[in-house]
Structure 1
């Protein structure tokens, strides 16, 4: 129970009794989580920190616009809004999609036509000039990149999206700021308060101790994790790039700063925050400084504050980590369901491409079985491709259970998707080759990686189209928020012109970050027989089916069913309305599926939702076509 003394102390900050009751009831509900996590991180500094946090929270509560307060109440009545089958995401760079924020507002009808209810605009908060890691080197969290518009334009866009049932998601970079950020500038100027916002060391003693267990994230162009800065007179922790200064979250002032930023942006209409580089924010000597327990306490505390002021807002964790670590970003044990509302299922994406190359799903099965059940109140972010490279996050343990060598399979995948492997259909580029580990990540658009760029015959084009639709069908059917990356709905190919832009030339991930082709988008239905037309029509059909299939509510997990044929993946979803069995063929050959296997889950007949046909399951075998996909439900 909220202590009455605290309630009496805070109540005078409200002129309206109803507002006071709302705030204090939420504080009573989430206050224990907030205090417990803050004490776990900050110890005896917690009480002083809480006084400052209450001031920030009450101010933001009063400043929250009425329409957003109404959204909060609606979300409290429907807490599963991110889990519903009609939730479809779209991810785009605002400038590459429509020029600027006003241009995005003019394309909302296009998004609605796709069935989109969640729009993630890639980094648009004001970055440092020049090289900025694709916008992830933020100079000012309270300003929009000038060529995209203003903060008022962002608020207007958020309102327009909200009125049409689309939630706006933005990136929030937590681990670091640009070296040009005001905090870093004041640290270099010698202000002790701001020097404590960062990790600055006078000599190499501490950095060398940390480096013994730290990996290099970008070995091609960012060697080591520390950079000497003459103005600061010290070695600055710079995990990602020399111009991105890691923040010291052990300093409670950093927590308060970010709470202010989050609530400011939430009041501007941001409904989902993608917590970028969240795994890296806590540093501990002798570790890789990722996934430390304090990370989850800090996220839980920020989320508790958000639930009190703006409960209609959600967190999505950008944590590309092993399954055993990933579950903690959604919440385990005491944190169950109290950390982030969504996390990326990077492993699903990696296994999709792995199975497509190998025509073998045993590793896929083993990888999925390694995941602990997620909290039923949370959801996965699912994707075929994203703005980033593909790192072959395949564990040696999963590979061994599938009878494979992890190192050899990762090597095979890099060879295959760079087009070096004999007979490969893929056309990708090697990104960040690490000679010490042998790791080679891959850049490339989904269509180029799936074979469309290399296709020379109608049969090869058809195979590429079917591969793309297979990948999308799995992500739409797995259970979570499927995130369509801009252009995938048009089967766009690699854009090699990135090399002509100086600030992009050294980073080949821009090969899969093209400009939106509105000419193709406008003619895609008229040109239904083109690859773009076929993928677009197929994807729109898949989305419509998904949105009418209640079995895909994300509170229910997909369970792996052992497949009798290694080319086929079987996923089962048990729903109160009946069973949904998904059957996927990862090869270009037809595959027989035993009738008794299907009958064991569905009975003698089943509705195949993607085609609308009813199947008789009594024959000894049913034939799954090349790259075939079935969503079978009990009638």
Structure 2
């Protein structure tokens, strides 16, 4: 009896029939993903189908029911009532049990998607904030156990919420069992990594490889005495890149995916996905094989646990981004979600420059994503902000990309004349002059300088990302207007990483709600979430059409829908601006009947235009 049949032999007939139907549906995509990667794709597919069958047979009945509901409503994550929240479990509440106890707060905020930052067991410090994973099958001991993780996913699922976890694909900690076995001389596990006896090959690769952390971890290879060789370490010396050209590695990660899905995890953030395939003479980022291997992993999940979504952590240039959602033969077959890093960068660029021209042009260049996918939009995340301003986009509007990036770094570090921002420089590259910036949304917007318009800037930024479509994700503390943690460097291991300044711990009040620094920001963001839920035009399958600005300080985003067009207009300037009524008429909006969805009232109209107050956002319908 074939292995898959043997695994499924004890299941009811309807379960076996469903599995067979899924294999029939997805096997062609699985083989298509494997064919560019391996000499014998059919043999690898058999191994992966065996893993899928075992996971399917072991899957909880409640999760099978979830698979059914998700299959009947495949657009569940695209709907406007899905708003996300991202946090470190310990800094949000304490441990996983404490997070479960705080779920009612998230529910009251309208959250349907919770992303908890790395919580699988990492190597000892330094461990890149948890992204150097030592064990994919256990939780950090201070946060709880895998049973606690399952209890949390049940609590969330019962409230209509989904848990997203990080799956670090490109590398493992040098204390992971695979790495330890390689150090001990196991040839099978040594082949899981890129190991070189001398510098010949590493030097050939280095000729075209960029450095991710040039000041903290220069170079891309590390000598290891136990290996007696150079091992590929893109990010840090203690993070060993795995070799996906070895099919054993793909099969190992497929098992990790299936195990986490069977614990109730509904979204996996594919960390560092852009780096997973190496090719001499390139940057070893965004290679075509990356999308093929993602397609292969996705099809395995579709067969065993179709409720699971993939989210690509691809912080790449605009022209490299769309393939992570699917282009060409991979259209709609890779990740379901991807970060819209460009939108975040352009939001902060607009606020500093008081100009929407560059942002409008840059956002117009991005192709429309597959209608079955969605952007993750955000104002801030756990990471620093790198100024991903494309030189071509900048030149197209008559400015220098290099000079604009320098301006943004100066502005948000508070070094520019009249800047209200209080960010921190993180990761300066002396060769290029690029500097990245850390800071909470409130601090970057000037709250720490007691700027009276700081709250308005924070709310405008969130209105842009909530009105763009996809899943808008709130970074923990930003919904409360929290400022940079003044004691960020005092915790062990944090002194050399100022990103901890924008990862503050929440303070919980006696009403089981966190204490805000800015009640105005807290109330304003809650109002944005409520408004978003009732606007069908914000369904992620509806493309965001960025219009040419009529006023250089007003970003215009139209969403055309059978129920009517909605125009988002965002004044990024500290003084009043306007939207001409002729534009409304062109979009089929009647100036006499138009309503601002954010207030439920008509906008202020004068002099043939909708008048916008400083930093005002309107969603006109």
In the TM superposition, what are the counterparts of 1:444-523 in structure 2 within 5 Å? 444-455=439-450, 460-461=451-452, 463-519=453-509
CA distance in 2, matches of 1:264, 1:164: 23
Shift of 1:47: 2.4
In the TM superposition, what are the counterparts of 1:555-570 in structure 2 within 5 Å? 555-570=541-556
Instruction: State the partner residue of 1:422.
Output: 417
Indicate which of 14, 17, 21 corresponds to 2:13. Answer: 17
Task: Report if aligned partners of 1:490, 1:520 keep a CA contact under 8 Å in 2.
Answer: no
CA distance in 2, matches of 1:626, 1:618: 16
Indicate which of 595, 610, 614 corresponds to 1:622. Answer: 610
CA distance in 2, matches of 1:606, 1:295: 46
Shift of 1:53: 1.4
Cα 1:620–1:156 shift into 2, 3 Å: same
- Partner-residue secondary structure (3-state), 2:311: strand
Instruction: State the partner residue of 1:237.
Output: 232
CA distance in 2, matches of 1:372, 1:550: 22
- Residues 393-414 of structure 1: CA distance to partner in whole angstroms, max 9, x if unpaired? 0010000111110000000000
In the TM superposition, what are the counterparts of 1:135-534 in structure 2 within 5 Å? 135-455=130-450, 460-461=451-452, 463-519=453-509, 532-534=518-520
Indicate which of 593, 601, 615 corresponds to 2:579. Answer: 593
Shift of 1:83: 0.2
Cα 1:192–1:609 shift into 2, 3 Å: same
Cα 1:291–1:436 shift into 2, 3 Å: same
CA distance in 2, matches of 1:583, 1:12: 55
- Residues 559-609 of structure 1: CA distance to partner in whole angstroms, max 9, x if unpaired? 111112111111100011000001110011001332222222212321111
Pair 1:105 & 2:118 matched: no
Shift of 1:517: 1.9
TM-score under structure 1 length normalisation: 0.95
- Partner-residue secondary structure (3-state), 1:502: coil
CA distance in 1, matches of 2:21, 2:8: 15
Instruction: State the partner residue of 2:568.
Output: 582
Cα 1:615–1:95 shift into 2, 3 Å: closer
Instruction: State the partner residue of 1:66.
Output: 61
CA distance in 2, matches of 1:84, 1:267: 25
CA distance in 2, matches of 1:8, 1:218: 45
Shift of 1:502: 3.1
Task: Report if aligned partners of 1:229, 1:235 keep a CA contact under 8 Å in 2.
Answer: yes
Indicate which of 593, 601, 606 corresponds to 2:594. Answer: 606
Task: Report if aligned partners of 1:127, 1:135 keep a CA contact under 8 Å in 2.
Answer: yes
Unaligned runs of 5+ in 2: none
**Could you list the runs of 4 or more consecutive aligned residues of structure 1 that deviate by over 4 angstroms after TM superposition?**
5-12, 520-525, 615-619
CA distance in 2, matches of 1:78, 1:626: 41
Task: Report if aligned partners of 2:118, 2:131 keep a CA contact under 8 Å in 1.
Answer: yes
Shift of 1:439: 0.7
Aligned length: 619
Pair 1:119 & 2:114 matched: yes
CA distance in 2, matches of 1:442, 1:296: 30
Instruction: State the partner residue of 1:27.
Output: 23
- Residues 275-309 of structure 1: CA distance to partner in whole angstroms, max 9, x if unpaired? 00000000000000000000000000100010000
CA distance in 1, matches of 2:179, 2:252: 14
CA distance in 2, matches of 1:344, 1:596: 34
Unaligned runs of 5+ in 1: none
CA distance in 2, matches of 1:25, 1:77: 15
CA distance in 2, matches of 1:262, 1:322: 27
Cα 1:544–1:230 shift into 2, 3 Å: same
- Residues 103-159 of structure 1: CA distance to partner in whole angstroms, max 9, x if unpaired? 001101000010000000000000011210000000000000000000000000100
Shift of 1:524: 7.5
CA distance in 2, matches of 1:545, 1:384: 18
CA distance in 2, matches of 1:6, 1:606: 64
TM-score under structure 2 length normalisation: 0.97
Task: Report if aligned partners of 2:413, 2:437 keep a CA contact under 8 Å in 1.
Answer: yes
